[in-house]
Chain A
Amino acid sequence: MRQYFGRKALIYALTFFVAVTINWMIPRFMPGDPIQGLVARAQVADPASVDAMRAHYTNLFGLDVPWWQQYVNFWAALLRGDMGISIWAFPTPVTDLIIRAVPYTLGLLIPAILLSWWAGNRFGAFAARRKWLDNTVLPIGYLLTATPYMWLALLLAWTLAILAGIFPVSHAYSFAVQPSWSWEFLGSLAVHWVLPFSSLFLVMFGGWAIGMRNLIIYELESDYANYLQALGARSRLVRGYAFRNAVLPQITGLALQLGTIVAGALVTEIVFSYPGIGHLILQAINNQDFFLLQGAFLFIVLGVLVANFIIDVVYTLVDPRTRIRMQGNAV
Chain B
Amino acid sequence: MRNRSRFLIMCFAASLTVAGCTSGGPAPAASAPPTGSAAAPAPAANGAFPRNQTLYTSGTQYGPPANWNPIREWDSATGTKGLVYETLFLFDPQKGDFTPWLAESGSWTGDNEYTLKLRPGVTWSDGKPLTAEDVVFTFELGKMETIPYHPLWTFLKSAEAVDATTAKFTFTKPNYQQWANHLYSRAIVPKHLWEGRDEKEVLDGVNEKPVGTGPYAYQSHDQDRMAWVKRDGWWATKALNLDVKPKYIVDIVNGSNEVALGLLLQNGLDLSNNFLPGIANLVQGKFGVQTYYPEPPYMLSANTAWLVLNTEKKPMDDPAFRKAMASSIDMKTIVEKVYGNLVLPASPTGLLPQWDKYIDKDVVAKSGFSYDEAKAKKLLADAGYKDADGDGFVENKDGSKIQLELIVPNGWTDWMEAIRVISGSAKKAGINVEPAFPEYPKLVADRGTGKFDMLLNNERQLSNTPWMYYDYIFRLPIQKQQNTTNFGRYENKKAWDLVRDLDNRPTDDAEGMAKITSELQQIQLDDMPVIPLWYNGLWAQSTSTVWKNWPSAAPGAPKNAPTLWRNWIELGGIYTLTELQPVAGG
Contact = CB atoms under 8 A, between A and B. Distances in A.
A169 B258 CA distance: 9
B259 A170 contact: yes
A178 to B, nearest CB: 4
A92 B151 contact: no
Interface stretch (A12-20, A35-43, A138-146): A35-43
Contacts of B439: 31-32, 288
A176 B75 contact: no
Nearest to B69: A91
A46 B150 contact: yes
Nearest to B66: A89
B253 to A, nearest CB: 9
B556 interface: no
Contacts of A88: 63
B67 A179 contact: no
A42 B66 contact: no
B400 interface: no
A32 B445 contact: yes
A118 B7 contact: yes
A172 interface: yes
Contacts of A169: 258-259, 262
Interface string B30-50: 100000000000011011110
Contacts of B25: 103-104, 107, 172, 189
A222 interface: no
A18 to B, nearest CB: 27
B223 A184 contact: no
Contacts of B154: 46
Specify which of B18, B24, B28, B256 lies most central, judged by the most chain A CB atoms within 10 Å of its CB: B18
A99 interface: yes
A155 B431 CA distance: 44
A43 B74 contact: yes
A286 interface: yes
Given A44-B484, A52-B145, A89-B63, A111 B17 contact: yes
B227 interface: yes
Contact of B66 (A41, A43, A91, A193): A91
A154 to B, nearest CB: 10
Interface string A149-186: 00000000000001000000111110111111110111
Contact of B146 (A33, A52, A92, A180): A52
A249 B289 CA distance: 56
A91 B206 contact: yes
Given A91-B66, A118-B7, A275-B224, A104 B444 contact: no
Interface in B135-186: 145-148, 150-151, 154
Contacts of B337: none
B29 interface: yes
A37 B62 CA distance: 14
- Report the interface size class on chain A: 35 or more
A263 interface: no
B56 A175 contact: yes
B255 A273 contact: yes
Contacts of B459: 43
A52 B204 CA distance: 14
Given A91-B66, A110-B14, A175 B225 contact: yes
A202 to B, nearest CB: 16
Contacts of A40: 444, 448, 483-484
A90 interface: yes
B557 interface: no
Contacts of B14: 110-111, 114-115, 118
A179 B26 contact: yes
A106 B16 CA distance: 12
A101 B223 CA distance: 9
A42 B223 contact: no
A53 interface: yes
Contacts of A170: 255, 259, 262
A171 B28 contact: no
B475 A45 contact: yes
A184 B203 contact: no
A331 interface: no
Contacts of A26: none
B63 to A, nearest CB: 5
A115 B18 CA distance: 11
Contact of B441 (A34, A46, A47, A103): A34
A92 B441 contact: no
B543 to A, nearest CB: 15
Smallest CB-CB A-B distances: 7 pairs: A107-B21, A32-B441, A180-B47, A103-B25, A179-B30, A46-B151, A32-B442
19 contacts: A31-B438, A34-B441, A37-B441, A40-B484, A42-B148, A44-B150, A46-B151, A48-B145, A49-B145, A53-B146, A104-B25, A114-B10, A118-B7, A176-B51, A176-B54, A180-B47, A184-B47, A185-B48, A273-B259
Interface of B: 3, 6-7, 10-11, 13-15, 17-18, 20-30, 43-44, 46-49, 51, 54, 56, 63-64, 66-67, 72, 74-75, 145-148, 150-151, 154, 200, 203-206, 220, 222-225, 227, 250, 252, 255-256, 258-259, 262-263, 268, 411, 438-442, 444-445, 448, 459, 471, 475, 479, 481, 483-485
Given A60-B200, A172-B25, 4 more contacts: A43-B74, A49-B146, A106-B17, A182-B48
